[in-house]
């Protein structure tokens, strides 16, 4: 299985990561926490391992900790090497280095692990804790051995440089920046984030790589398939929004037909082809895991990549 390093010193991981935001989340994804849901998630977890996708992204806020707990349960029932990325949420009541350590302790308890491959700052909010305090607290945890690498999420180019500088002074290299990136959200290519990440040797973790399902081809202006959950209030899923992306879906289908792949697999493959990048694709069942895994193990031609870049230029800004 192809792998990519998290930053310069981090773990080697699969370039396709399983996102677990929906695991146990009722608020946004209307996904329950009953026994049947847990069984379905465990089957999805095993399907991921069988497909060679052993990198999972979670956060303390996902399902109010339930996502981490599910992962912890499943990990203990497996003998395969698994890499976990989770996140610390800056909040107004967290203003000391000890609060970072305490949050990590609670995440590790839920995950039933002594160490995580990647510990990320979920948002660049400062509130009452400075970036100096936060990054030094994370560097302390690297030295303690409880986290292998430090990452950030939703950081601008300037914020990423600041975090990198503080960590570097402690001998720790910033490993990653998790940001929204897909064929329909290409702003990191023009706002300095992608260029800065490459200059610093920081890996991009791309969340929402299928634009909440827009790039699957499942939703069209003429389709009877109606969006549910959070998608119902997203204007991109309106008739006008779906009409706007029809040229993109058309090319994804044409490329997919040539390679025996789905539009979603083509969209994920395009992201991975950018290099120094891990695509985080959410999955709640085994079928979704297997579908996502179909993005691996093949390559588009340069001409096909150029076609996709040209048709999605309206989403660069």
Residue 62 annotated among the catalytic residues of the structure: yes
Assess contact for 130 and 184: CB atoms under 8 A: no
Nearest CA to 286 out of 70, 21, 49 is that of 49
In the set 31, 62, 70, 119, the catalytic residue is 62
Name the residues annotated as catalytic: 62
């Amino acid at each position: 299985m192809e792998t990519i390093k998290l930053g310069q010193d981090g773990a080697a991981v699969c370039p396709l990561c399983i996102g677990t935001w929906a695991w146990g989340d009722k608020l946004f994804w209307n996904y329950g926490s009953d026994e049947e849901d847990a069984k379905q998630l465990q089957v999805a977890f095993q399907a991921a391992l069988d497909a060679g996708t052993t990198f999972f992204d979670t956060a303390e806020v996902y399902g109010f900790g339930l996502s981490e707990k599910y992962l912890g349960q499943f990990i203990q029932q497996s003998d395969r090497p698994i890499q976990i990325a989770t996140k610390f949420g800056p909040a107004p009541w967290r203003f000391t280095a000890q609060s970072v350590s305490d949050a990590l302790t609670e995440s590790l308890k839920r995950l039933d692990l002594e160490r995580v491959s990647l510990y990320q700052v979920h948002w660049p909010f400062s509130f009452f804790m400075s970036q100096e305090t936060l990054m030094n607290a994370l560097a302390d945890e690297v030295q303690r051995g409880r986290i292998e690498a430090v990452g950030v999420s939703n950081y601008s180019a300037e914020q990423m440089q600041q975090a990198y500088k503080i960590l570097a002074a402690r001998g720790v290299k910033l490993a990653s920046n998790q940001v929204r990136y897909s064929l329909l959200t290409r702003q990191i290519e023009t706002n300095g984030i992608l260029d800065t990440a490459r200059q610093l040797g920081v890996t991009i973790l791309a969340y929402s790589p299928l634009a909440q399902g827009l790039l699957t081809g499942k939703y069209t202006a003429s389709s009877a398939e109606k969006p549910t959950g959070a998608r119902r209030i997203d204007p991109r899923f309106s008739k006008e929004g779906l009409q706007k992306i029809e040229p993109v879906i058309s090319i994804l289908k044409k490329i997919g037909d040539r390679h025996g792949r789905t539009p979603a697999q083509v969209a994920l493959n395009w992201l991975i082809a950018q290099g120094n990048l891990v695509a985080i694709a959410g999955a709640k069942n085994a079928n979704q895991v297997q579908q996502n895994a179909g993005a691996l193990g093949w390559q588009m031609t340069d001409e096909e990549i150029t076609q996709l870049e040209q048709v999605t230029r309206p989403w660069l800004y």
